[in-house]
Amino acid sequence: MRLAVELDPLNPFVRALHGVQLLMADDLQGAIRVTEEVLASTPGFGFGYYTLIHAYHYLGEKAIDWYELGFQITGPNVPYLGAKVKTPAIQSNPRFIKLLRDMKLDYWTDKYSQPSE
């Protein structure tokens, strides 16, 4: 990945993939730093929010903030928001349920609004 970034340092997709690789290697702070730099330098670039959601979630902070931000930028992943989230603490979070409702994802809103059995 370092070689790809070295060869094409201005390509936001390559840099965002570097963030994904850092996340997979459990370098959460590095993944956040790289991905936030990509998003700050490339307004409207839709790739990277998922990396931040997971990195912040693993660190125990800001996951809902990134879901809200990431899904305001409507893209092909919007219909899958309810299906992609596997963490019960996020699924039951009132802000997450409101986001599902706002996105008109009624099935997931109803599912996560019900108490766990």
The H or E element spanning position 9 is: none
For the record, the structure tokens of 82 come out as 């309810």
For residue 94, the enclosing domain spans: 74-117
Taking alpha carbons only, the member of 25, 32, 19, 93 closest to residue 81 is 93
Task: Write down the pLDDT at residue 116.
Answer: 66
Where among 24, 41, 62 does a domain terminate?
62
- Block means of pLDDT (10 residues each) for the chain, 117 residues, are 91 95 94 94 85 82 76 72 81 90 91 81
14 within domain boundaries: yes
Residue 87 burial (CB count, 10 A):
13
> For the whole model, what pTM was predicted?
0.59
Task: Report if residue 34 sits inside a domain.
Answer: yes
Which pLDDT score is estimated for 35?
94
Tokens of 90: 């996020």
80 & 53 share domain: no
- Is 67 inside any structural domain? no
Ramachandran region, residue 115 (left: φ > 0; alpha: ψ -120 to 50; beta: rest): beta
Q: How far apart are CA 31 and CA 55, in angstroms?
A: 7
> Which amino acid does the sequence have at 71?
F
